[in-house]
């Protein structure tokens, strides 16, 4: 098995894109308002009822992530409209791309059930007070 190319070892005259799986062309993420009410979280649940959607938090900012491949991504992971690609693609460089990044987010939601649990633990706790039973007293220690 060939060792994965690192940024530092890209041969002269080659581009990092020659070795990439085009992560940047397989999703898009849009900032969303921080959900702080049950209504906001219910909208977030609605987002996640749709296929290939998730929500994540990075640097305290919330994003809707849509896992969908650009329709112009070719089988060799190159852009089929490179010369006429959108400005956002033109501004994106390999200097800070995700080539070797394995992101771990502060929060990551894939299912509406995860949002419901989060809602119960955060917003509903604040709105309704404790919704769980109080912690039971400790059992006595028995010396035998």
Are 22 and 16 in contact by the 8 Å Cβ rule? The answer is: no
Spell out the domain ranges in the chain: 14-128
pLDDT tens column, 34-61 = 998 889 999 999 999 999 999 999 999 9
Element (H, E) at 55: strand 53-58
Whole-prediction pTM value?
Answer: 0.76
pLDDT tens column, 73-123 = 999 999 999 999 999 999 988 887 888 877 789 999 999 999 999 988 887
pLDDT tens column, 128-142 = 554 456 777 888 877
E-assigned strand segments in 71-139: 107-109
- Mean pLDDT across the chain, nearest whole number? 87
């Amino acid at each position: 098995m060939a060792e994965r190319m690192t940024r530092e070892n890209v041969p002269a005259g080659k581009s990092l894109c020659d070795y990439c799986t085009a992560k940047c062309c397989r999703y898009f993420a849009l900032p969303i308002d921080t959900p702080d009410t049950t209504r906001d979280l219910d909208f977030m649940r609605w987002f996640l009822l749709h296929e290939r959607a998730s929500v994540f938090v990075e640097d305290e900012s919330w994003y809707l992530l849509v896992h969908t491949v650009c329709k112009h991504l070719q089988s060799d992971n190159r852009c089929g409209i490179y010369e006429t690609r959108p400005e956002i693609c033109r501004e994106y460089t390999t200097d800070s791309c995700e080539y070797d990044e394995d992101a771990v987010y502060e929060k990551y939601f894939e299912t509406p059930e995860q949002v419901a649990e989060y809602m119960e633990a955060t917003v509903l706790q604040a709105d309704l007070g404790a919704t769980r039973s109080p912690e039971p007293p400790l059992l006595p220690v028995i010396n035998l």
